[in-house]
Amino acid sequence: MPTLRSMGGISRIDIEGLKSLGEKLSLNLGKLTILAGANSSGKSTVMQGLLLQKQTLNAPFDPGPLLLNGENVKFSEAAQLLHTGLGEGSRRSTKRAGKVTIGTATERGQVAVATTYRIGGKETLEIERTSSSYHGKTVDLTPDLTSAQISESVRAVLPGLQEMEDERRPPAFAWSVQPHRCFLVAAHGRTDGVPELFHSPYKFGPDWAANLIRGIIHLPGLRGNPERSYPVTAVGKEFPGQFQNYMASLIHNWKSSAGERVQRLGKDLSDLGLTWKVDTKPVDDTSLAISVGRTRTSARGGARDLVNIADVGLGVSQVLPVLVALRAAAPEQLVYLEQPEIHLHPSAQYALARILLEAAARGSRVIIETHSSLLLRGLQVAIAKEKVSLPPKEVALHWFSRDDAGVTGVTSCTLDEEGAFGDWPADFDDISLQADSDYLDAVADRRSRP
């Protein structure tokens, strides 16, 4: 069994039965993954499963199988998770089996875990099954397994457990399946209630998945208005909740421990045509003020020509968390950015493409949900001109659409050496061309009037 250190990041997401995703969807991820398509086509839904697990794992208390109403995603009842579609040839709304499966994989799918949740008799969410696979060997955990069945399953993956089991024999010791946040785990411990002085219960579960999911950096499309001051937060490798809460503290910490990173952040802002410098200053023990250069490029005396971020255009406050997240991400850490182009001028959207590719080339795994054809074209141009070291095959594109029954379908591809995606979606270039045609027709019609 591979160790966490030898594993890569999340390379596949598996979802089944969640909202508009009825049948099982396996979404392969590149170093940079683009989710595109019409509004309400299912782009956000494909990530909501992992975000539900993230906020469950990040919670300071045990919320049960899934924390439905958290900082990353909000549901008010478990039934809202369930897939609903229209029956074949019918206008009658029909719900499927009342189960949702959320899975993830690494090492190109060689190591994977999938957990199925169901709504129980009292309309409460329960974990039905957690299935883990390790290079062809599977551990399938359900609450009804006997100790002998669990032992046989776990030993197939970890034969070294035989020695531990020989030391801790039944009936004083036994295996059981227990819930552990959003997963089921196999636990080996005492059955007589006697406290263990020298042995703690052994637990087998998908710790590798929990670590990867807990470490997801999530930046939503609605990132709030620019503030005169931002709260001081702890700075580490994990960022519970939404990432924008950590932006100011990260920049402030980089000033003293990694000044070069702040300079690179300023260059990113300059490349977008927004400003050239960003700085922080303590307001009190609990808050920090963020200032940015008043001009777009460096000028004499410009290091002191700063204004509060609340006094500049909204685009700066919206894209700054994106740039900080990309600089903060560790190798293989997943960064999920919803509409990173929001409130940006078209030229800045186009330039943002190269910054995203460079972040992926540094080693993090970036997923963006976007409606910007300019951003997509910028990715193509940067690949075709070989401006970044990221192999084209590491850029994955997934087009989302919904049929008349409300079911999501996905068309997937990767870039080729010339930066081409293949067939361009109808809701991007075709609509742009249609708008141009409509305008020219309208002008011609107006000129032809007497």
Q: Is the domain of 153 the same as that of 224?
A: no
Determine the pLDDT at residue 4.
42
Whether residue 141 has pLDDT greater than 70: yes
Q: Is the domain of 196 the same as that of 235?
A: no
Determine the pLDDT at residue 297.
80
Q: Is the domain of 32 the same as that of 104?
A: yes
Residue 186 lies in a domain: yes
Q: What is the per-residue pLDDT across 364-421, written as a single tens digit (0 to 9) for each? A: 999 999 999 889 889 988 998 887 889 999 999 999 988 888 888 898 988 888 888 7
Instruction: Please give the Cα distance from 192 to 225 (Å, whole number).
Output: 57
Tell me how far the alpha carbon of residue 23 is from its chain's centroid. Answer: 21
Determine the pLDDT at residue 279.
94
Whether residue 258 has pLDDT greater than 70: no
Residue 39 lies in a domain: yes
Q: Is the domain of 274 the same as that of 162?
A: no
Q: Is the domain of 79 the same as that of 124?
A: yes
Q: Token pair 């199988």 is at which residue?
A: 65
Domain boundary among 341, 362, 388: 388
| Residue 68 binned pLDDT confidence (cut-offs 50, 70, 90) | very high
Domain boundary among 369, 388, 407: 388
Domain count, the chain: 2
Ramachandran quadrant class, 168 (left: phi over 0; alpha: psi -120 to 50; beta: rest): beta
Q: What is the per-residue pLDDT across 308-337, written as a single tens digit (0 to 9) for each? A: 999 998 899 999 999 999 999 999 999 999
Determine the pLDDT at residue 14.
96
Q: Is the domain of 267 the same as that of 358?
A: yes
Determine the pLDDT at residue 89.
45
Mean pLDDT of 64-86: 90
Residue 420 lies in a domain: no
Residue 312 lies in a domain: yes
Long-range interactions of 230-238: CB distance < 8 A, separation 24+: 230/287, 230/288, 230/289, 230/290, 231/286, 231/287, 231/288, 232/285, 232/286, 232/287, 232/288, 237/330, 237/333, 238/58, 238/214
Mean pLDDT of 126-142: 94
Closest of 358, 370, 357 to residue 415, by C-alpha = 357
Instruction: Please give the Cα distance from 304 to 381 (Å, whole number).
Output: 36
Residue 380 lies in a domain: yes
Domain limits at 154?
Answer: 4-212
Whether residue 87 has pLDDT greater than 60: no
Determine the pLDDT at residue 298.
78
Closest of 81, 43, 28 to residue 401, by C-alpha = 43
Determine the pLDDT at residue 359.
96
Q: Is the domain of 202 the same as that of 63?
A: yes
Please say whether the beta carbons of 384 and 418 come within 8 A.
Answer: yes
| Residue 439 binned pLDDT confidence (cut-offs 50, 70, 90) | low
Mean pLDDT of 195-214: 83
Q: Is the domain of 46 the same as that of 80?
A: yes
Residue 399 lies in a domain: no
Q: Is the domain of 226 the same as that of 355?
A: yes
Mean pLDDT of 166-192: 85
Domain boundary among 388, 408, 442: 388
Residue 382 lies in a domain: yes
Q: Is the domain of 173 the same as that of 292?
A: no
Residue 427 lies in a domain: no
Mean pLDDT of 74-98: 68
Tell me the CATH number at 226: 3.40.50.300
Output the DSSP codes for 253-291. Answer: HHHHH-HHHHHHHHHHHHHTTS-S-EEEEEEETTEEEEE
CB neighbourhood size of 276 (10 A):
20
Max mean pLDDT range (106-110, 295-299, 320-324): 320-324
Q: Is the domain of 192 the same as that of 241?
A: no
Q: To 10 degrees, the CA torsion angle through 381, 384, 389, 390?
A: 80
Determine the pLDDT at residue 447.
78
Q: Is the domain of 180 the same as that of 45?
A: yes
